[in-house]
């Protein structure tokens, strides 16, 4: 990879919020596993799903995470996305 590409990647990552970096590190640690927003919320100890859902969407939009499918949520019974590190 070209050095300019690496520099741009690290600069962009530095611009992520503290919460985005926490979530990104979680997904990188469990790089082969898929999680729902609610699973991430519970694993990281956040009080509400809304504390992680917008950040996960932001990380998907930035290419750090990818949506991998849908599963039925144990809490709501609705179809929800699963996400993993890209």
Global pTM reads 0.81
What confidence tens digit (pLDDT) does each residue in 6-61 have? 444 444 556 788 999 999 999 999 999 999 999 999 999 999 999 999 999 999 99
79-85 vs 65-72, strand pairing mode: antiparallel
The domain limits of the chain are 3-85
Instruction: Look at residue 16 in the predicted model and tell me its pLDDT.
Output: 86
Q: What is the dihedral of CA 14, 18, 22, 25, to 10 degrees?
A: 0
Domain 3-85 belongs in CATH node 1.20.1560.10? no
Query: Residue 1 pLDDT > 60, yes or no?
Result: no
Instruction: Look at residue 79 in the predicted model and tell me its pLDDT.
Output: 97
Instruction: Look at residue 9 in the predicted model and tell me its pLDDT.
Output: 45
């Amino acid at each position: 990879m070209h050095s300019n590409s690496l520099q741009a990647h690290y600069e962009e990552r530095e611009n992520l919020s503290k919460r985005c970096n926490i979530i990104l590190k979680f997904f990188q640690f469990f790089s082969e596993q898929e999680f729902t927003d609610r699973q991430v919320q519970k694993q990281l100890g956040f009080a509400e799903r809304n504390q992680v859902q917008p950040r996960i969407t932001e990380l998907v939009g930035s290419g750090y995470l990818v949506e991998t499918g849908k599963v039925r949520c144990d809490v709501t019974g609705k179809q929800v996305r699963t996400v993993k590190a890209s």
